[in-house]
Amino acid sequence: MSITVEAGGSLKARIVPHLTLKDVPTVGQAIERLRLPPDVALIMLVNGRIAHWTTELQDGDVLQLLPTIGGGAISITTAR
């Protein structure tokens, strides 16, 4: 199976448009494959609907990743 990843906001600079990922059974596994920067908290959408880390993916799904930077979005980052 393969899915398409679309990035929003500041993540556009890190993820190419229409990126295809193969064999990622869940949203979490897709995100781990992308190795995102440490200060990003994410809103995850699958086929335009809100999703979460353990949401299962199907062949042809579109995963949108929207970084929730700023906006008083406290608690988004910490030291590792």
Partner 1 sequence: MSVGSTWGKILHVNVTDGKVWVETPPDELYLKLVGGRALEAYLLLRDTPAKADPLGPDNLVIFAPGVFQGTNLPGAGRHSVGGKSPLTGALGSAEAGGWWAHEFKRTGYDALVVHGQARSPVYISIKDEAVEIRPADHLWGQEVVEVEAAIRAELGDEKIRVAQCGLAGENLVLMANVINDASRAAGRNGLGAVMGSKKLKAVAVRGNRNVQVADRKRLTGLAKWLGDNYQTLAKWAWERGTPGGLTVLNRASALPTRNFQDPDFPGAESIGWETLHTSILIGRDTCQACPIECKQVVSYDGQDYPDSPAFKTQVKGKATLNKVYGGPEYETLGSFGSTCGVDDIVAVSKANEWSAAWGLDPISTGMTIGYVMECVERGLLTAEMTGGFLPQWGSSADMLEAVDMIAHRRGFGDKMALGSKRLARWIGDGAEQYLVEVKGQELPMHEPRLKAALGVGYAVAPVGADHMMNIHDTGYAAPGGGLDRVNAVYQVGPLPPSALSAEKMTLFYHEVNWQHFQDCAISCMFYPYNYVQLAEALSAMTGHEYTPLDILAVGERAQQLARLFILREGFTEQDDRLPKRVMQAFKSGPLAGVEITDEALHNARQTWYGLMGWTPEGVPTQERLAKLGLTELLETK
Binding residues for partner 1, per CB under 8 A?
8-10, 28, 31, 37-45, 48-50, 52-54, 64, 66-80
Min dist CB 74 to partner 1, Å, is: 4
Min dist CB 58 to partner 1, Å, is: 18
> Who's near 3: CB < 8 A, 6+ residues apart?
20, 21, 24, 30, 57, 59, 60, 61, 62, 63
Min dist CB 73 to partner 1, Å, is: 5
